[in-house]
Structures are given as C-alpha cells and as structure tokens.
Amino acid sequence: MDDVALQRAEKQKNHIILGGKVHLYRRGKRGRYHCSATIEGKQYRSATEKDDLRQAEEVAEEWYLKLRGMVRSGDLEKVTARKKEMTFKAAAEKFLEEFPVLTEGQRNPIYIAGHERRARKYLIPFFGKKGLSEITGGLVNKYRMHRIARAKERWGNLPLPVAAKQNLFCAMAIDGQILPVGLVRAGIGAWVESTKTQTWKLHDNNHWEIERWLALLAFTDNPLSVVAAVQEIGALYRYPQQMEGVVEAFGNAPGKQGEEALVQLVRECPWIASEHTFVGAFLRLNSGSALFSMLDLLKEGTFGKARGGIDRRDIVLKVASQLQGSPTVLAEAKARYLSDPSDTLLELALAEVGGPDMVVSIVRAYAQRRQTFDGVLAHATREAATQRQPSSNWSGAYELHPQPLIELRKELYGLLGGPSGELGRKGLLAIDRLRDEYGVSDCEPRHPDIQAGGSWPRVSG
C-alpha cells in the first residue's frame, strides 16, 4: 500500500482485513482503532490501542489468530465465563456498602472505617480484577508474600516485631514447616503485654488474635506447651472464652505430641471448645491411637455428658465410618474389644461395621458377661446376614441378598445347653427369621454344627 492509498484509507472509518474476517474501525474521525470478528455465530470485539492503521492491522491479525486458537482448545468459553463472573472488587464494594448498615449500633465506627481502609488500600488493589472463583488459598498465600515483600521494600530488612509475624508463621505452618516454640511463645507474650494498655482485647469476642497464636502451637516442636499457655490466657479473662480454632488446629497437628496435647486439653481445659469440636479434632487425626484415646475419655466420663453435648449414636456412626475406612485401625479395634469387652461404645461401633467375624466376637463378649440377646446384637446379626447390592431396576436403590453365617451359627449352637443357652437360642431364631425373609445362602449347611453330634436345635416358638 503506497502513501497516497494509506492516507485515503486512514480517512475511512471502517476497514476489512483477512478476507473480510476482521473489521477495523474507529469511533469519530480520529482516535484509536478497534477490531471485531464473528466466530461460530458470536461477535467479539477488542481495542488495538493503536491510532496508526498499519500497526492496528498487525494487532488485529494477532488478536484474531489467538481468538481462533482459543475457540479450538475450548479456552474461550472459560475466559468468557470468567469475565461474566462477579469480581472481587464488585463483591468488596457491595460488602463495604452493606457492612455499616448490618452492624449499625453493634460496632464502633472506627472498627468499620478500619475495614474499609484495609480493603481499599490492600485487598482491592491486589484481588480486585479476579473473579470470586479465582480467590483460592494459594492466591491468599501469594498475597501474604506480596505484603511481606512490599514491607521489605519500604522498611528494608530491619527485623519486624514477633507480633507482626503471625501471618508469616501461619503460612509456614500451612507449608508443613515445624515452628520453634520459642517464637510462638514470644508472640503470645507480646500479646499479653499489649493487653495492659489495650484492655479491649480482654473483652468478650475479642480473642481472635490470641486464638491464632495458641493454634500455632500445634505446629511447633513442643505442642504440649499449649495447655500451660491456654491456662495462662484463660486466667486473664473474667469468664472462660471458647476458642474453637485452637482445638481444630490440633486436629491437624503432625506427630504423636499433638494427639497427647489434645487429650490434655480435654482433661484440663474442657471450656476452650465444645464437645463436638473435640470429637471432630480426634477423628481428623485419623489414627488408631487418637480414636482409642477419644473412646477412653468418653468411657471414663471426662467428656460426653455435657448438656447439649455430643450424641452417642452420632459418635458410634462416626467411629464406625473411620473403622471401615482403615483395615489396620479396625484390626486394632477388634483386638482391643476382645481384651476389654466392657467397652460398650466400641462394641456399638463394631456392631455397626458388621461382618460375621465381628458378630462372633460380640457373641463371645455377651456370653462372657451373661448378657442376653438384645437390639445391638440383632442389628449386627442383620448387617452380617445380608449384603446390599445395587438394584438393576431402580437407580439409587439396593437389594438385600443373604450371606453365609457358618461360624456364627456354629458359635450360637455351641451355647445351647449352657449358661448362655438363651443367647444362643435367640440368636439362631433371629437368623432363621432373616432367612425366611431374604432366603438362605447356597453355601450354608442346614445344621449349624453337624460334627458336634447334637440334634437339630428346636429354636422356634
């Protein structure tokens, strides 16, 4: 294109390039060029940021080729959906608009102004253009590192006070690092010292900062120090303050000492969290020793009796679920139960797990205690005698199919005529009723123990 043709073209508002696939235009006689294209029935527009026609054409061609590539790879739909999503900035503006109204008369104006100042100065500049789905834990950690880097640029490498390093310690704990207990204890000490002038920190519901410091002790080289720290902080308040976050943190503590610290917290500082939170922490540790420590605490009555506390049935189902998910822990639980059949809570959980060998163990414990056939054993027997299989005719439903109970029936038959004869009789009768309802397993003999030489047991009636 010669200079004369170029001058004529620049006077035109609209231009067509790439064989009519891309339109170049500008609004008004002067200004920067924009480009548009239609791909698969949808129109897309972009600004070239150029006022020179040749440069605008190059930008438009590159934009169009990139657009075509995104359509083929399927990335264009993701980008379009992300653009339609509410951004962090929009959500933050909505929050800043509604927060003063929702907290009117409940929060100090200085507190509300502090939220707005931090949001506008730090959060919105960093997260503002991100869609809400893009705000992840990884991005939050990047924000923390960004703030630390900015602080170094501003203040140099001068060491910050320990109290100012709490977010850094949290990021290190999330990264899996073990913190020196001395640093965390120094942070706790700095907070205690600050309460002498900032007494509002000792008011109700203002313990969020010290709660985070105490939670960090779970990830130090001495988690057991949390008990003394909690007692020290608790003595500063007029009334005991629940700090659920501390117990929840110890549910993720690495190492055996974290579990021991959790047990000590239950015994010496039960006011720090609800029983539900303590149970959740023990179960999240996902180890046999933690599970059995919790059962011991429940058995001895250290917790589990508070008004509005945990429900035994709920505990049984949670313990059974963990036993089913870990064969090693299940084997430990069976051995523990056989050595101490008086642990009724563990017995209920094992009954919920089911299985013929499990029911045999429970029957032996019942016989040892001279206990009669009850609802617990009936439920365990039913679970062992039937197996759930998905229904071929009804989605989401299951069918019950009979399972052989050779060893269990033999065990019950052996009780007949002895001190626990009634237990054996009712157990065999319960199995016969299940067989009447669901059928008999093909590989199960009719007589419970023909080699014993006894006659067919008369258990009906």
Stretch 101-115: mean pLDDT = 80
The model's confidence at residue 223, banded by pLDDT at 50, 70 and 90, is very high
User: What angle do helix axes 275-284 and 312-325 make, rounded to 10 degrees?
Assistant: 10
Measured between alpha carbons, how far is residue 32 from residues 24, 46, 169, 331 in Å? Answer: 10, 11, 50, 75
Residue 35 has pLDDT above 80, yes or no: yes
Stretch 48-53: mean pLDDT = 84
Specify the residue for token string 């390093």.
165
- Residue with the bigger pLDDT between 262 and 368: it is 262
Query: Considering the domain boundaries, does residue 460 fall inside one?
Result: no
Query: Considering the domain boundaries, does residue 334 fall inside one?
Result: yes
Please report, for the chain, how many H helices and E strands are present, in that order: 22, 6
**350 in the same domain as 242:** yes
Query: Considering the domain boundaries, does residue 459 fall inside one?
Result: no
The model's confidence at residue 148, banded by pLDDT at 50, 70 and 90, is confident
Domain end among 47, 62, 84: 84
**234 in the same domain as 97:** no
**109 in the same domain as 71:** no
Of the candidates 69, 88, 92, the residue with the CA atom closest to the CA atom of residue 79: 69
User: Which pair of tokens denotes residue 69?
Assistant: 């590539």
| Rounded Cα gap, residues 444 and 365, in angstroms | 24
**Domain enclosing residue 120, as ranges:** 88-155
Query: Considering the domain boundaries, does residue 36 fall inside one?
Result: yes
Measured between alpha carbons, how far is residue 319 from residues 220, 263, 283, 346, 349 in Å? Answer: 28, 17, 8, 8, 6
**263 in the same domain as 407:** yes
CB atoms within 10 A of CB 373: 21
Q: What is the mean pLDDT of the chain?
A: 81
Residue 438 has pLDDT above 80, yes or no: yes
The model's confidence at residue 38, banded by pLDDT at 50, 70 and 90, is confident
**265 in the same domain as 195:** yes
**314 in the same domain as 225:** yes
Residue 461 has pLDDT above 50, yes or no: no
Stretch 44-69: mean pLDDT = 86
**61 in the same domain as 132:** no
Residue 215: the pLDDT is 93
Query: Considering the domain boundaries, does residue 38 fall inside one?
Result: yes
List Cβ neighbours of 306 (8 Å cut-off, separation of 6 or more).
Answer: 275
Q: What is the pLDDT of residues 305-343, one digit of tens each?
A: 666 667 778 888 888 888 888 888 888 888 888 787 777
| Rounded Cα gap, residues 66 and 420, in angstroms | 82
Domain count of the fold of the chain: 3
Stretch 440-453: mean pLDDT = 68
Q: What percent of the chain has a predicted confidence (pLDDT) above 70?
A: 88
Domain end among 59, 84, 109: 84
Specify the residue for token string 């006022």.
51
Residue 250: the pLDDT is 92
| Rounded Cα gap, residues 190 and 433, in angstroms | 70
**379 in the same domain as 359:** yes
Residue 218 has pLDDT above 60, yes or no: yes
Residue 226: the pLDDT is 93
The model's confidence at residue 79, banded by pLDDT at 50, 70 and 90, is low
Query: Considering the domain boundaries, does residue 104 fall inside one?
Result: yes
Query: Considering the domain boundaries, does residue 160 fall inside one?
Result: no
Residue 419 has pLDDT above 60, yes or no: yes
Most confident of 9-13, 258-262, 297-301: 258-262
The model's confidence at residue 82, banded by pLDDT at 50, 70 and 90, is low
Residue 459 has pLDDT above 90, yes or no: no
**300 in the same domain as 231:** yes
The model's confidence at residue 260, banded by pLDDT at 50, 70 and 90, is very high
- Residue with the bigger pLDDT between 426 and 105: it is 426
**139 in the same domain as 112:** yes
Residue 230: the pLDDT is 92
CA 414 distance to own-chain centroid: 48
CA atoms 96, 97, 103, 104: torsion sign: positive
Q: What is the pLDDT of residues 370-403, one digit of tens each?
A: 888 888 888 888 888 888 778 878 877 888 888 8
**33 in the same domain as 97:** no
| Rounded Cα gap, residues 237 and 272, in angstroms | 12
Q: What percent of the chain has a predicted confidence (pLDDT) above 90?
A: 10
Instruction: Give the strands of the sheet with 14-17, arranged side by side.
Output: 14-17, 22-25, 34-39, 42-47
Domain end among 53, 84, 115: 84
List Cβ neighbours of 452 (8 Å cut-off, separation of 6 or more).
Answer: 413, 414
**310 in the same domain as 276:** yes
| Rounded Cα gap, residues 271 and 243, in angstroms | 9
Of the candidates 241, 251, 172, 263, the residue with the CA atom closest to the CA atom of residue 218: 251
Residue 350: the pLDDT is 85
Query: Considering the domain boundaries, does residue 166 fall inside one?
Result: no
The model's confidence at residue 4, banded by pLDDT at 50, 70 and 90, is very low
| Rounded Cα gap, residues 138 and 249, in angstroms | 19
Lowest mean pLDDT among 67-76, 138-147, 352-361, 365-374: 67-76
| Rounded Cα gap, residues 209 and 164, in angstroms | 11
Residue 460 has pLDDT above 50, yes or no: no
| Rounded Cα gap, residues 155 and 89, in angstroms | 28
